[in-house]
Amino acid sequence: MLGIFWSNNKWYIPKLGYDPYKFSLAYLTDFELLRKFVDFMHDRNGSITVTATKVLGYAKSLMLNMEKDGQIKKFGFLLQNPEYSNRLLNPISNDQWDAWCAKQTLIIKQYLGELNEGKHIKQGRNPEDPIRSYLDRQHPITVFFEIAENMRLYLEKHGQFMSVKQLISIQRDLLMFEMFPTQPLRIKMYSIMTYHKDNSGNLYQKADGSWAIRFLASDFKNEKSAVSDKEYNVPIETELWPKIENFLYNVRPQFNDNRPNIFISVSKSIKSKKTVKPNKTISDGRGDVAYLSDAVGHRTRQFLNGCPGFGPHAIRHLVATDYIKNNPNGYQVAADILHDRLDTVLKHYAHLKASDGHRHYQQWFFAVRDKWRKES
């Protein structure tokens, strides 16, 4: 919602009576202000986007109450805290708070219903835009080879000038990008991936020296579209074994973090030397999922020429697109690779079926024709 508070380096919401320097969550219970936000998003984007409606949905969730065990229970954070009533533009008493929240919730619900019924909600930026040039390649997964190679060259050139924090951060991200093509798990799974010396973690070494990744079926239970009734136990390619061992035994201990998680933010306790900083790095210390998501965006901007950066979901999209593009009947394999349901993959990649299916037919056709010409 900050967009309606700040534009062109100037606060302009004060004309509505709000003090931007005293911003409060209570403002999210005021539909009139929320409507101003939607109007702002419409003026900026030319339409009402999903992003704008998500803010409305979030505001509604903060005032949520539901019936449970025959009683109305207050689940929403703001609904449970009537003291926020005195932070509204026009404060109300605490005993009016429940009625106020109920009214605003109803208005938001009706407004969202009208938007959906009138089909006014449009998608904003196409999430494929940052990776369009890579998706158009015959083999989109080559983008991973490209970024990993650029990261290795960068380390060779600048590694000696980096602080410890910078160095181990990029080494961590390099290992992730080398694992992504063959282990295209959601970023949450990378953030919770563990290693224990007794090989009881998610990343483990077998008796023959090989490495693999395993997750219980229950680990996927909150992942949208994931196969949550089947465990994940996948071997890691041979080339990565020494890289994993080097990271676990030589790099990871430098993070000064006793948690078993592998891909984490750098500990603030690390003392960095005063060295030349070839490139600004992302900040550390936030939640690991958000942090790793930002790391993907940062590294793709940094190491792919002309790329505006893309998020971790694009990684899965690039992998699945490559396989289906080059294997016209490869939907089930793609679903297995992503640990997703087949119907989900069919739904999201149906657009590849016609164009790439026809391309495979043409290859087959030309092969038959050329063979006939040669033999006739």
Nearest to 47 by CA among 56, 55, 38: 38
Out of 122, 150, 170, a domain closes at: 122
Q: Is the pLDDT of residue 228 over 90?
A: no
* Residue 156 domain-assigned (yes or no): yes
* Residue 374 domain-assigned (yes or no): no
* Residue 364 domain-assigned (yes or no): no
> Backbone phi, then psi, for 342, in 5-degree steps?
-60, -40
**Model confidence over 14-54: pLDDT tens digits?**
556 777 677 788 999 999 888 888 888 777 767 787 878 88
Question: Which comes out higher in pLDDT, residue 251 or 1?
Answer: 251
Question: In terms of residues, how long is the chain?
Answer: 376
**Residue 35: how many CA atoms within 13 Å on its side-chain side?**
11
**Model confidence over 338-355: pLDDT tens digits?**
988 888 888 888 767 555
**Model confidence over 178-208: pLDDT tens digits?**
999 999 999 999 999 999 999 999 999 999 9
In this structure, the answer to whether residues 113 and 135 fall within a common structural domain is: no
Confidence band (pLDDT; 50, 70, 90) for 255? very high
Q: Is the pLDDT of residue 290 over 70?
A: yes
* Least confident range of 12-21, 77-86, 297-306: 12-21
* Least confident range of 164-173, 207-216, 359-368: 359-368
Give me the sign of the Cα torsion angle 335, 341, 343, 349.
negative
pLDDT for the residue 232: 92
* Residue 362 domain-assigned (yes or no): no
Q: Is the pLDDT of residue 285 over 50?
A: no
In this structure, the answer to whether residues 148 and 254 fall within a common structural domain is: yes
What DSSP character marks residue 249? I
Out of 122, 156, 177, a domain closes at: 122
The predicted model scores a pTM of: 0.66
* Residue 367 domain-assigned (yes or no): no
In this structure, the answer to whether residues 116 and 150 fall within a common structural domain is: no
Q: What percent of the chain has pLDDT over 70?
A: 83
* Residue 369 domain-assigned (yes or no): no
Confidence band (pLDDT; 50, 70, 90) for 276? very low
Residue 237's domain comprises 129-351
CATH of the domain at 287: 1.10.443.10
Q: What percent of the chain has pLDDT over 90?
A: 52
* Residue 340 domain-assigned (yes or no): yes
Confidence band (pLDDT; 50, 70, 90) for 73? confident
* Residue 358 domain-assigned (yes or no): no
In this structure, the answer to whether residues 155 and 96 fall within a common structural domain is: no
Number of domains in the chain: 2
Please give the mean pLDDT across all residues of the chain.
84
Task: Report helix, strand or coil for 6.
Answer: strand
Q: Is the pLDDT of residue 287 over 60?
A: no
User: β-strand 211-215 against 232-235: which pairing, if any?
Assistant: antiparallel
In this structure, the answer to whether residues 108 and 148 fall within a common structural domain is: no
Confidence band (pLDDT; 50, 70, 90) for 272? very low
Mean pLDDT of 271-283: 40
Confidence band (pLDDT; 50, 70, 90) for 367? confident
In this structure, the answer to whether residues 133 and 117 fall within a common structural domain is: no
In this structure, the answer to whether residues 243 and 156 fall within a common structural domain is: yes
In this structure, the answer to whether residues 71 and 169 fall within a common structural domain is: no
Q: Report how far residue 251's alpha carbon sits from residue 168's, in angstroms, rounded to the nearest whole number.
A: 6
In this structure, the answer to whether residues 168 and 312 fall within a common structural domain is: yes
In this structure, the answer to whether residues 114 and 25 fall within a common structural domain is: yes
In this structure, the answer to whether residues 105 and 133 fall within a common structural domain is: no
pLDDT for the residue 213: 97
In this structure, the answer to whether residues 116 and 133 fall within a common structural domain is: no
Residues 6+ apart with CB under 8 A from 189: 215, 219, 220, 223
**Model confidence over 84-122: pLDDT tens digits?**
999 998 999 999 999 999 999 999 999 999 988 888 776
* Least confident range of 71-75, 98-102, 174-178: 71-75
Out of 93, 122, 151, a domain closes at: 122
Q: Is the pLDDT of residue 323 over 70?
A: yes
Apex 159 CA angle, 158 and 162, nearest 5: 90
